[in-house]
Amino acid sequence: MTSKPPYTITVKTADYLTKIAETVTRLEYSTGFKRNIKLHRKNRVRSIHSSLAIEGNTLSLDEVTDVIEGKLVAGRQTEVKEVKNAYEAYDKIMTFDPYNVRDFLKAHKLMTDGLVKESGRFRSGDVGVFDGEVLIHAGARPQFVSQLIQGLFDWAKDSELHPVLKGAVVHCEIETIHPFADGNGRMGRLWQTLILAKWNEIFAWIPMESLVYEKRPQYYDALQNAQGSNDSGEFIEFTLSAILNAVEAQTKHQDEHQDKHEVELNEVMLSVLRSLEAASLTRKEIFAALNMSGDTRAFKRHIEPLLSDGYIEMTVPDKPNSKLQRYRLTDKGKAVI
């Protein structure tokens, strides 16, 4: 049965929403963020590190990076496994339907595989959140979990509430229902990111989780107060402030990058741009047009800076090493030639 979750939209929340929409538009269209694949990867690692650290994973950001890059890390194997699982879940984020329960369970399976007994399944027993021996919050009875999650997703799918607000409500409700024996926090944050990314794909690469990690006492307080009052308004307000801070940080980074590190185009770079004027080309075809050897050193010197500063872009940005990869001019690159 579908029912509207209890929430209040405060004046401050409405203000945050307006600022988020404005800042996201600027980040998307006035900076090179969408094309900055290297930054996307760094942000993805930060998201994973922060979301796991909130739950007590002790691996550092550098160690998480090493795990994702396939390097050996001298840490607890359960923590290493958490990183590998989270990376796989975030890597597939855009393949999930945020309102499909089966996708929700599939994502939980990826996130917790090999770590919990009921991976990819709703819990079969009661669960509670404790502060020492004091019960802070009791999750829904297990026999009602499936129905409650289905009702939440049905409401969210049909609701005309702005996706930024909707994602915060769904996150809060997931934590309140507590559908899994373990991994509820990770799933709540992943699912909010998914709803945001389905609204605007750049959110798949914005590490909102790092802001939540920095303010985790306020995060837990807002969640506890929302659950205690049966109104997610305070949690929505906190979450939107974190989203705004995360988007503003990315915009500031892009502005500084463009001001301080704008590449000075040399003759070879200009030749690369001219070679792409008529059609998109592979790396090999670009260097053939320039009568140059297309080794890794040449690529890093002449093509990577053009990618980073948004003069050219990949035709398959999600898979940089794809055999089908080609490069094409952006509007910025066209303006130069």
pLDDT in tens, 326-335: 999 998 889 8
Rounded Cα distance, 232 and 198, in Å:
22
pLDDT of amino acid 130: 65
Closest residue by Cα to residue 70 from 58, 83, 56: 83
State which of 219, 234, 257 marks the end of a domain.
Answer: 257
Cα distance from N-terminal residue to C-terminal residue, the chain: 59
Residue span of the structural domain in which 249 resides: 11-257
Closest residue by Cα to residue 248 from 61, 69, 31, 60: 31
State which of 257, 279, 302 marks the end of a domain.
Answer: 257
Same domain, 176 and 278: no
pLDDT of amino acid 9: 96
- Classify residue 2: in a domain, yes or no: no
Same domain, 209 and 134: yes
- Across the strands, what pairs with 133? none
Phi-psi region of 291 (alpha: psi -120 to 50; beta: other; left: phi over 0): left
Helix (H, G, I), strand (E, B) or coil at 314: strand
pLDDT of amino acid 252: 87
pLDDT of amino acid 225: 94
Distance of CA 285 to the CA centre of its chain: 34
Residue 134 sits at φ, ψ, to 5 deg, of -95, 125
State which of 231, 257, 283 marks the end of a domain.
Answer: 257
Residue 294 sits at φ, ψ, to 5 deg, of -95, 50
Rounded Cα distance, 134 and 140, in Å:
18
Residue pair 110/88 in contact (Cβ under 8 Å)? The answer is yes
Residue pair 220/238 in contact (Cβ under 8 Å)? The answer is no
pLDDT of amino acid 29: 82
Same domain, 221 and 307: no
Rounded Cα distance, 315 and 179, in Å:
40
Rounded Cα distance, 112 and 336, in Å:
49
- Classify residue 221: in a domain, yes or no: yes
Same domain, 141 and 179: yes
Distance of CA 183 to the CA centre of its chain: 17
pLDDT of amino acid 135: 66
Same domain, 160 and 116: yes
Q: What is the pLDDT of residues 234-281, one digit of tens each?
A: 999 999 999 999 999 999 877 666 544 456 788 899 999 999 999 999
- Classify residue 262: in a domain, yes or no: no
Rounded Cα distance, 295 and 337, in Å:
25
Neighbouring C-alpha atoms within 13 Å toward the C-beta of 140: 19
Give the position of tokens 């990867």.
41
Residue pair 324/314 in contact (Cβ under 8 Å)? The answer is no
pLDDT of amino acid 139: 81
Total number of residues shown for the chain: 337
Residue pair 83/59 in contact (Cβ under 8 Å)? The answer is yes
Residue ranges in the chain modelled with pLDDT below 70 = 1-2, 129-131, 134-135, 255-263
- Classify residue 167: in a domain, yes or no: yes
Residue pair 114/135 in contact (Cβ under 8 Å)? The answer is no
Structure tokens at 231: 């109104």
Which stretches of 61-209 are assigned E, i.e. beta strand? 128-131, 134-138
pLDDT of amino acid 337: 80
Same domain, 132 and 240: yes
Q: Give the predicted TM-score (pTM) of the model.
A: 0.76
CATH value at residue 280: 1.10.10.10
Rounded Cα distance, 300 and 204, in Å:
26
Same domain, 137 and 206: yes
CATH value at residue 20: 1.10.3290.10
Domain count, the chain: 2
Rounded Cα distance, 215 and 41, in Å:
23
pLDDT of amino acid 131: 66
Rounded Cα distance, 207 and 223, in Å:
20
